[in-house]
Amino acid sequence: MIIQTISIKSVTAQGMGTLSVFEGSHDVPFDIKRIYYIHGAPKGTHRGGHAHKALRQVLWCPYGSIRIRLDNGREKADVLLDSPDKGLIVEHYMWREMIWEKKDSVLCVAADSYYDESDYIRDYNEFLEAVKGKDLD
């Protein structure tokens, strides 16, 4: 399954906005060790262009609209993160690109591991080679 979305629990207080929450291991299928976020990007920004060997993450966009393009080496799919209550689980060995549909959209990421550059595959042909013969869910 290439696109795995979750619905983030949101609690609205009359006239006081909404609180949204998810918990590691309960609402996403892994523990969370690292949080990072990308902000201040102009419309049309393209980021990503890599896969991970082990890292599992959940992506969400609390403000704005960001297109996520996923590719498992056999199948490609797009999902639009355009609502603060929509999360996208991105598993390992998934090539990803992120495209800013609106200026100043914020991309938040919760990851199951600390930053490790050696976990990245940044070459598309190397990625295709790595997924060849793998069992994909």
CB of 59 to ligand T46, least distance (A): 6
Number of residues binding to ligand T46, judged by CB under 6 A: 11
Mark whether 92 is an active-site residue.
no
Choose the binding region for ligand T46 from 7-15, 18-26, 31-39, 72-80 (rule: CB under 6 A): 31-39
- Active-site residue (options: 26, 39, 50, 92): 50
Interface with ligand T46, residue 37, by CB under 6 A: no
Which residue, 8 or 121, has its beta carbon nearer to ligand T46?
121
Q: Strand 106-111 vs strand 34-38: parallel, antiparallel, or unpaired?
A: antiparallel
Q: What residue type is assigned to position 91 of the chain?
A: E
Residues 8 and 60 sit within 8 Å (Cβ to Cβ): yes
Q: Report yes or no: 8 and 84 within 8 Å, Cβ to Cβ.
A: yes
The token pair that represents 105 in the structure block: 């959209």
Does position 38 bind ligand T46 by CB under 6 A?
yes
Strands 57-63 and 106-111: antiparallel
Active site residues: 50
